[in-house]
């Protein structure tokens, strides 16, 4: 039962990172588009799916609280400031998405809110993951670190890295979904963002070695980890091939592979710990009575239904979005 919930949580977090990743990335890139035509085109490429993407965050939080309350209490408390900023960023961007259409005078303000909210939310997620990889100082699930624990140089670097990563996914998504000018422009962005992401990966790797992070010893203990860079390399090749041949679906496929590689690396290095080297998932799990209560409806019925629903949404809104048609 514990393993079921661990698997479910990994899946929902991965789906969140992958799916909200590209639409947050589009939000970040939104700041760099000037014309209303271009902005509207960008929004059309994500508007059918962004809200559904964000529900995976709620579902992850619900599973974390229900199945691993100890982690929920520790992480949410320890990352107080980044989470508050993340939430405000998500609110601002979600509301801006809808209200920009309905307002005339305030439209520039909503646009700024959309780009700013997306960037802040992404940056905070990156910092959180970076700080978590460094290990959370805690005694018995109670945080003992400092106020700006989440803002260590390594964590900040990860924040910047995730902004680059999400932007890459966003640009690749635009290549996949958009047409004409926007698609061409996004090809250019994919190229530079890929360079940025690779530079970040090298920098983060060196930094982690220098900090002598304990997570890094996993590379020696667990040879299977080296599969992840391999998958990542395939992803990079796919993106390059896509750039070279102008095959619209390849950059996004490559970005997905990169995300799988990154997520796999983190997951495989953390296991069996949920907070590296202090709390394992067995220690963190709720008592069996809580887990099975949650399992018999939420686990076997609602979760699969949500997955199916996500697939259906993507199936309905498949294909390219043009500059004029559809969502206004």
* Residue 62 lies near another protein (rule: CB under 8 A): yes
Q: Which is nearer to another protein, 85 or 260 (CB)?
A: 85
Burial class (CB in 10 A: 0-12, 13-18, 19+), 301: exposed
Give the separation between CA 185 and CA 176, rounded to whole angstroms. 12
* Residue 27 lies near another protein (rule: CB under 8 A): no
* Residue 313 lies near another protein (rule: CB under 8 A): yes
3-state SS, residue 248: coil
3-state SS, residue 279: strand
- Stretch binding another protein (CB under 8 A), from 121-129, 253-261, 266-274, 294-302: 294-302
Least Å distance between CB 288 and another protein?
10
How wide is the angle at C-alpha 128 spanned by C-alphas 124 and 130, nearest 5°? 115
Using an 8 Å Cβ cutoff, are 272 and 282 in contact?
yes
- Answer for which of 2, 4, 18, 99 binds another protein (CB under 8 A) is 99
* Residue 326 lies near another protein (rule: CB under 8 A): yes
Burial class (CB in 10 A: 0-12, 13-18, 19+), 46: buried
- Answer for which of 7, 31, 58, 195 binds another protein (CB under 8 A) is 58
Give the separation between CA 117 and CA 93, rounded to whole angstroms. 5
257 half-sphere exposure, CB direction, 13 A CA radius: 19
- Answer for which of 37, 142, 210, 320 binds another protein (CB under 8 A) is 142
* Residue 77 lies near another protein (rule: CB under 8 A): yes
Q: Which is nearer to another protein, 58 or 199 (CB)?
A: 58
Q: Which residues bind another protein (CB under 8 A)?
A: 47-49, 51-52, 55, 57-59, 61-63, 65-67, 69-70, 72-77, 79-81, 83-85, 87-88, 90-92, 94-95, 97-99, 101-104, 106, 140-144, 147, 286-287, 289-290, 293-294, 297-298, 301-303, 305-306, 309, 313, 326-328
């Amino acid at each position: 039962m514990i393993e079921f919930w661990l698997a479910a949580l990994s899946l929902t977090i991965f789906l969140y990172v992958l799916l909200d990743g590209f639409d947050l990335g589009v939000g970040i890139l939104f700041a760099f588009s000037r014309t209303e035509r271009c902005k509207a085109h960008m929004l059309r490429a994500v508007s059918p799916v962004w809200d559904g993407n964000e529900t995976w965050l709620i579902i992850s939080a619900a599973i974390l609280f229900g199945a691993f309350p100890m982690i929920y209490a520790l992480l949410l408390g320890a990352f107080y400031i980044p989470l508050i900023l993340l939430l405000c960023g998500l609110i601002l961007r979600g509301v801006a998405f809808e209200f920009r259409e309905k307002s005339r005078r305030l439209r520039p303000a909503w646009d700024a809110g959309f780009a700013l909210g997306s960037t802040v939310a992404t940056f905070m997620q990156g910092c959180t993951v970076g700080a978590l990889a460094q290990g959370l100082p805690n005694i018995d699930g109670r945080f003992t670190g400092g106020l700006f624990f989440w803002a260590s140089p390594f964590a900040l670097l990860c924040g910047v890295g995730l902004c680059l990563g999400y932007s890459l996914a966003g640009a690749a998504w635009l290549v996949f979904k958009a047409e004409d000018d926007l698609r061409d422009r996004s090809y250019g962005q994919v190229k530079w963002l890929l360079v940025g992401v690779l530079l970040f990966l090298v920098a983060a790797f060196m930094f982690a070695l220098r900090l002598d992070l304990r997570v890094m010893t996993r590379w020696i203990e667990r040879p299977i980890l080296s599969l992840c860079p391999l998958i990542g390399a395939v992803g990079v090749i796919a993106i390059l091939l896509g750039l070279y041949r102008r095959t619209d679906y390849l950059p996004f496929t490559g970005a997905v592979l990169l995300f799988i590689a990154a997520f796999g690396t983190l997951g495989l290095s953390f296991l069996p710990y949920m907070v590296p080297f202090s709390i394992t998932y067995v220690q963190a799990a709720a008592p069996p009575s809580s887990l099975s209560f949650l399992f018999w409806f939420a686990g076997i019925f609602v979760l699969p239904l949500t997955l199916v629903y996500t697939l259906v949404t993507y199936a309905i809104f498949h294909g390219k979005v043009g500059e004029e048609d559809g969502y206004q």
